[in-house]
Amino acid sequence: MTMDKIWVLVRQGILDTAYMTFPSTFFAYLLGLPLGVLLVISQKGHIRAMPTLNTVLGAVINFLRSIPFLILLVMLFPVTRVVMGTAIGTRSIIFPLVISAFPYVARMVEGSLKEVDPGLIEAAQSMGMSTFQIIRKVLLPEALPSLVNGAAICITTILAYTAMAGAAGGDGLGKIAITYGLNRREYGVMYAASIALVVMVQIIQILGNILTNALDHRKR
Amino acid sequence: MSESTRPMIQIQGLTKIYGSGASQVTALQDVNLTVNRGDIHGIIGMSGAGKSTLIRCINRLDTPTEGRILIDGQNIMDLKGAQLRAMRRRVSMIFQQFNLLMQKTVARNVRIPLEIAGVSRKEADDRVKELLKIVGLEHKARAYPAQLSGGQKQRVAIARALASDPEVLLSDEATSALDPMTTQSILALLQDINQRMGITIIIITHEMAVIRQICNQVTIIDGGVIVEEGSVDEVFTHTRSSAGRRLFGIIKDEIKEDEITEALRIVFDGTTRNEPLISSFILKSGMPVNILSADMHRIGGKAYGQMLLSLPESYADREKLTNGLREMGLTVEEVHTS
C-alpha cells in the first residue's frame, strides 16, 4: 500500500478515534465528577459525612471497574441498543465507553479532591459557607490543576479503550491496526496506525501537563 | 442588663468528650468562661490542654458534648443550617497555617466572605481595597499566597476575617508559625483592630509573650480544665496554678524533687521605666545578687517580664534583699524553681 493510501486510512482513523474518545470523556465526567465529589464529601469527618452511602458507592464503583472493557461491551449490548439506537458502529461504542470510564473518572476526581488541605475546608466552614459553596468555591478550584492532570490521564485511558471498538463494529485506529496488521499482514498500516495512537496520547498528555502547570499558583 | 455590659461570650458547663467506650478522651471538663465585649481575652495552655477544642466550640466547628455557649446572649448550641452559617459570619477565625486559598489571588481570598454574603461586585471590590489597606497589603492585591511571606499571609487572613464585619475574632495560634518580629507586628495589628473597630478578640496560644503583649484577660487551661483566670496583670504577678508557673517559666516542664531550689521572683509589669534597678540595689546595699534567669521584654519603653534571683542563705539577708527590692516598687515573691 502506498504512503498516500496509508495516510488517508490513518487520517480517517484519527478522526474516528477522536470522535469516540472526546464525547465519551465528556459524558464520563458528567457522571464521574459529581460522583467523585460525593465520594469525598460523604467520607467520615468530611463536610457531609454519610459513611453507609460512601461504602455502597465505593463498592459499586469497584464492581464496575473490575469488569474488563471487552466483556462489559458485550454485556451492555441490549442496553446500548436502547440508549444509542443500535449496538454496533463507531457512534454506539460511546455508551459502553462512558459506562466503563465514569467509575474510573470518579476515582480520579476523588483522589484530586482529597489533596485539598483540610484546613481550607475548616476555614470555609468558619466563614459560614454552605456545603455547595465549599464544593464550588474551595474544593473544585483548589483541586483544579490536579483535576486537569487527572482528565489528561482519563482521556488517554479512554483513547486506549477505543482500540477495542472493532469488536463491536466500530472504526478507529485500533480497528485499522488489527484489521490490516493482524488479519491482512500489512504491517506498514499497522505501524502507521499505532504511531498515530502514540502521537495522540503524547499530545494529550503534554497539553495536560502544560495546562496543569499554568493553572497551578502554589509555586512562586 | 444594658447593651454595653452584656458579656459577648458566655461558656457554661462546657464538656467535650471524643470517642466512646475505652478509647474515650475528655478534652474539656465543665468549662465556664465569660468574655466581655471589647476584650482581648487570651486562652493559654500546653499542647493538648484543650484550648483548640474550646475555641472550635465557640463557632461550632466542634460540637460540645455538654454545656451551653451564648454569643451576645444567644444560645448557639441549637443553631442549624442557615442560622449556624449566619452566626459564623459574626464570629470570624484566623489560623496557625493561615488557610488561604492557594489558587486565588489575595484580593479574591479577601472577597470570599463578601461573595457568600451576596454583596454586589462593585461594593465588594471597594470593601476589599479598604480591608487590604487596613492590613497594609493594598500593593499585593494581585499576588498569590505562595508569593507572600508568613506574616503577609496572616495579614491576608485577618483581612478576610474582617470582611464579614464580625463582632468576634477567634485567633487559633495565629502567630505560632511566625518569627518573633512578625509576631509582634501581627499582634500590634490585632490590637489596633480591637481598639478601632471594637471587635472582641479571643486568642489561643501557648506563648506567654503573646498574652503579655496584647491581652487584658487571661484564662489558663490545663488538662481540659480551667486552672486560673483573671486580668493579665493579676495572673502574671500572682500566679497560683502550677500550669501557670510552668507557662511563665518559673518551673521547668519535668523537674525532680532534689532539683528544686528556692528563689526570689521579680515581676516587671510595665510600671517601672528603663532603669538599672538591680544595679542600683547592689550599689546601695553593697549586697551581691545572683541572677538565675531573666526573661524581659521592652514594650513602649516599659519593662515587662520576670527575673529569678537566688535566695541568700541567712534569714536577715533574705529580708534585706526582699524589702530592698520592694522599696524600689518591684513585685517580689519567694518561689520554688528548678
Domain-located, residue B1: no
Question: Which of B245, B262, B295 is at the close of a domain?
Answer: B245
**Residues A28 and A97: beta-carbon distance below 8 Å:** yes
Question: Angle at CA B231, nearest 5°, toward B213 and B9?
Answer: 95
pLDDT tens readout for residues A120-156:
999 999 999 999 999 999 999 999 999 999 999 999 9
CATH code at position B312: 3.30.70.260
pLDDT at B300 > cutoff 50: yes
Contacts of B19 in chain A (CB under 8 A): none
Task: Examine the domain organization and report whether B198 and B241 are in the same domain.
Answer: yes
State the residue range of the domain holding A59: 3-215
Determine the structural domain holding residue B318 and report its residue range: 252-337
Pairing of the two strands B91-95 and B168-172 = parallel
Q: Are residues B162 and B291 in the same domain?
A: no
- The pLDDT, as a whole number, for residue B1 is 46
Q: Which is more confident, B285 or B153?
A: B153
As for how many domains chain A has, the answer is 1
| Contacts of residue B278, Cβ cutoff 8 Å, sequence gap at least 6 | B289, B291, B307
B195 and B85 within one domain: yes
Distance of alpha carbon A17 from alpha carbon A172, whole angstroms: 5
Measured between CA atoms, how close is A47 to chain B, in angstroms? 11
Helix axes B277-285, B315-327, angle to 10 degrees: 130
Comparing C-alpha atoms, which of A55, A64, A147 is closest to residue A110?
A: A147
CATH number at residue B167: 3.40.50.300
Q: Which three-class secondary structure state does DSSP give residue A97? A: helix
Asked if residue A220 belongs to a domain, the reply is no
| Sheet with B40-44, edge to edge strand ranges | B91-95, B168-172, B200-205, B40-44, B217-222, B225-231
Helix (H) or strand (E) holding A215: helix A187-215
The pLDDT assigned to A183 comes to: 85
Tell whether B28 is covered by a domain. Answer: no
Distance CA A19, CA B157 (A): 47
- Confirm whether A28 is domain-assigned: yes
Find the residue in B nearest to A213 (Cα). B103
Answer for the pair A150, A112: CB distance below 8 angstroms, yes or no: yes
Asked whether the beta carbons of residue B88 and residue A128 sit closer than 8 angstroms, the reply is yes
Q: A37-41, A83-87, A133-137, B326-330 — which is least confidently predicted?
A: B326-330
Q: Is the pLDDT of residue B270 over 80?
A: no
Q: pTM of the predicted model, to two decimals?
A: 0.86
DSSP string, A135-161: IIIIIHHHHHHHHHHHHHHHHHHHHHH
For residue A9, give the CATH number of its domain: 1.10.3720.10
| The last residue of a domain, from among B223, B245, B267 | B245
State yes or no: pLDDT of A172 exceeds 70: yes
Residues of chain B in Cβ contact (below 8 Å) with chain A: 59, 61, 84-89, 92-93, 95, 97, 99-104, 112-113, 115-116, 144-147, 160, 164, 170
Residue B332 three-state SS: strand
CA pair distance B212, B187, nearest whole angstrom: 11
Q: Is residue A138 part of a domain?
A: yes
Residue A51 inside a domain? The answer is yes
Q: Are B183 and B294 members of one domain?
A: no
Instruction: Give the pLDDT band (50/70/90) at residue B255.
Output: low
Is the domain of B235 the same as that of B286? no
Instruction: Indicate if B217 and B90 belong to the same structural domain.
Output: yes
Same domain membership, residue B234 and residue B256: no
The C-alpha cell that represents A153 in the structure block: 490521564
- Domain assignment present for B212: yes
A141 → closest Cβ in B92, B104, B170? B104
pLDDT tens string B128-149: 999 999 999 999 999 999 999 9
Option in A119, A125, A138 nearest B97 (CB) = A119
Dihedral, CA atoms, B154, B156, B162, B168, nearest 10 degrees? -10
The count of structural domains within chain B is 2
Same domain, B217 and B141: yes
